């Protein structure tokens, strides 16, 4: 099958029978829901750009499984060049959508599961790697979107999965059958699950022997029996119901997260990638986290490009673009954003092959990348809000601006630079609000902190990967200290 167009993708999602709930009601047609549709449009962009010749090199790759050209989001990385192109692709999509385009988790799960299943089979003689290759081939041939589901609710964080008062607080095998397993639990904060054809489930932490039932990885259709989704609430989300577009800020694109419930879901044997091999749970978590922390050096940079541009436009419209402190703030925003990009490129260029043959990033540099992402976007947002001014959060509503009596008054008093329409000034300020505080902030500012793991999770990995003993040896050698 050829690569899908964006419209074909949307119709393929429309045909799914997903169970979706929002504001206490079941959504019969998520594709057409005004709150949810912008998130679907963001994923659509990953299909639309893949159709354009000028983006083919970034958006597609030659599959190592089939030899055919596939969307890069379904690709198994074959070189450091693939890793670098992944980051460049993510920056491009961030620039085009100024939102989360939601397919990164599936791509990162693909590559983590690919190498981990190979090594699990090597120790236990299982057939997980062959299972996964067949699944990956199916996804590539049908150009599907896949959600990578790792994060469990976790319950009492001081206790292991098997020690929780409620066993369902970590997704687990509830029943083992000759033809497969039945799983129960939930995955939280699931970016893009709503807009995915398939879900790859992975364990969320390293596990001990007592956690055997929780060391499970598999793939299921997003509309499999027993799966339902409760959509997360976002700031300003109901503005999409008001009929206008000015107050939304970014009316076309967005992201969405869900709490995905697995209520006794059956998984056939051929779709199981890990089933009780607890010592490989940590490997899978570490590799997925590394890939996903690399991703933030691309996607967040692309959205940052839009925010920097919006802040510069706001400065133009406010009449202060020539002020030295404004220029300096834009320089600082650019410096921070490009530093994030440097980290994403660096951990990619320093990648290496795994035992399975696919390529993995430099884990230390990937964690440094994400550690910076937990900080720099917050400063970029602060500077953008500084440049934009207080009108970003005090402007009257679009309904007032369109009102025959109030509109002219708003236009009179909120006009700034001659030649710039008041409406355009309000539009750029609402875009900044959306990126800094509104629905897009979930995919930029807030996600920069907790997406792909907490800041402390990265610091643990930095400590583990930092090779402190080697550095101590270097110092002792130069100081002529006998080891």
pLDDT at residue 483 tops 80: no
The pLDDT of residue 100 is above 80: yes
- Are 417 and 343 within 8 A, CB to CB? no
Mean pLDDT over residues 282-287, rounded?
98
Catalytic residue, chosen from 9, 60, 100, 151, is: 100
Active-site hit among 299, 343, 347, 369: 299
pLDDT at 386 over 70: yes
Ordered domains of the chain (ranges, CATH): 6-278 (2.40.110.10), 284-473 (1.20.140.10)
Task: Examine the residue annotation and report whether 214 is marked as an active-site residue of this protein.
Answer: no
For residue 465, pLDDT beyond 70:
yes
How far apart (Å, rounded) are the C-alpha atoms in residues 207 and 276?
10
Structure tokens at 123: 């120790």
Give the bridge partners for 274, in sequence order: 217
Which one is catalytic: 119, 198, 257, 433? 257
The catalytic residue among 104, 343, 347, 436 is 104
Above 80 in pLDDT, residue 261? yes
Quick: pLDDT tens for 318-328.
999 999 999 99
Give the sheet arrangement for strand 198-201, strand by strand. Answer: 146-149, 198-201, 216-221, 272-275
Which H or E run contains 344? helix 324-349
In angstroms, rounded to a whole number, what is the distance separating the alpha carbons of residues 309 and 301?
Answer: 12
Assess whether 47 carries a catalytic annotation: no
Is residue 1 pLDDT above 80, yes or no?
no
Q: How far is it, in rounded angstroms, from Cα 19 to Cα 227?
A: 7
Q: Return d(Cα 173, Cα 181) in angstroms, integer.
A: 7
- In this prediction, residue 211 carries a pLDDT of 98
299 is an active site residue: yes
Q: CA angle 423-425-427, nearest 5°?
A: 70
Give the C-alpha distances (Å, rounded to integers) separating 117 from 130, 201, 217: 8, 13, 10
Can you tell me whether residue 163 is helix, strand or coil? Answer: helix
> 379 an active-site residue?
no
Q: What is the pTM assigned to this prediction?
A: 0.97
Alpha helices in 159-280 (DSSP H): none
The verdict on whether 320 is a catalytic residue reads: no
In the Cβ-directed half-sphere of 248, how many Cα atoms lie within 13 Å?
Answer: 19
338 is catalytic: no
Mean pLDDT of 131-151: 98
The share of the chain scoring above pLDDT 90, in percent, equals 97
Asked whether residue 196 carries a pLDDT value surpassing 80, the answer given is yes
């Amino acid at each position: 099958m050829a690569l899908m167009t964006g419209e074909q993708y949307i119709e393929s999602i429309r045909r799914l029978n997903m169970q979706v709930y929002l504001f206490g009601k079941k959504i019969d047609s998520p594709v057409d829901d005004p709150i949810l549709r912008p998130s679907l449009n963001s994923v659509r962009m990953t299909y639309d750009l893949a159709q354009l010749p000028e983006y083919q090199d970034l958006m597609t790759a030659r599959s190592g499984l089939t030899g055919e050209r596939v969307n890069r989001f379904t690709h198994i990385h074959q070189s450091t060049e693939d890793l670098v192109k992944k980051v460049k692709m993510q920056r491009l999509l961030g620039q085009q959508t100024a939102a989360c385009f939601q397919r990164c988790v599936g791509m990162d799960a693909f590559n983590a599961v690919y190498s981990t299943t190979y090594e699990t089979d090597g120790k236990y003689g299982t057939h997980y790697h062959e299972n996964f290759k067949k699944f990956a081939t199916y996804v590539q041939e049908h150009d599907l979107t896949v959600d990578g589901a790792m994060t469990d609710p976790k319950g009492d964080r001081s206790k292991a999965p098997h020690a929780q008062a409620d066993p369902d607080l970590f997704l687990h095998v509830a029943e083992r059958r000759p033809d497969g397993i039945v799983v129960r639990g939930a995955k939280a904060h699931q970016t893009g699950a709503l807009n995915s054809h398939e879900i790859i489930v992975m364990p969320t932490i390293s596990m001990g022997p007592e956690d055997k039932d929780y060391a499970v990885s598999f793939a299921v259709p997003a509309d499999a029996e027993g799966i339902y989704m409760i959509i997360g609430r976002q700031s300003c989300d109901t503005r999409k119901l008001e009929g206008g577009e000015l107050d939304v800020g970014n009316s076309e694109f967005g992201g969405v997260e869900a709490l995905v419930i697995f209520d006794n879901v059956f998984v056939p044997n051929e779709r199981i990638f890990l089933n009780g091999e607890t010592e490989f749970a940590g490997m899978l978590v570490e590799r997925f986290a590394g890939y996903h922390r690399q991703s933030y050096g691309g996607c967040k940079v692309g959205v940052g490009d839009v925010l920097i541009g919006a802040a510069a436009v706001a400065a133009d419209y406010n009449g202060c673009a020539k002020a030295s402190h404004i220029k300096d703030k834009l320089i600082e925003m650019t410096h921070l954003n490009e530093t994030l990009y440097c980290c994403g490129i660096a951990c990619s260029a320093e990648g290496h092959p795994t035992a399975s043959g696919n390529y993995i990033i430099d884990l230390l540099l990937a964690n440094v990348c994400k550690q910076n992402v937990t900080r720099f976007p917050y400063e970029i947002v602060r500077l953008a809000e500084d440049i934009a001014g207080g009108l970003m959060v005090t402007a009257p509503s679009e309904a007032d601006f369109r009102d025959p009596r109030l509109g002219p008054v708003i236009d009179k008093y909120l006009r700034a630079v001659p030649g710039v329409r008041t409406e355009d000034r309000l539009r750029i300020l609402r875009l900044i609000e959306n990126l800094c505080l509104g629905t897009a902030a979930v995919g930029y500012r807030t996600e920069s902190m907790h997406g792909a793991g907490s800041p402390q999770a990265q610091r643990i990995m930095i400590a583990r990967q930092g090779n402190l003993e080697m550095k101590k040896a270097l110092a002792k050698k130069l100081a002529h200290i006998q080891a």
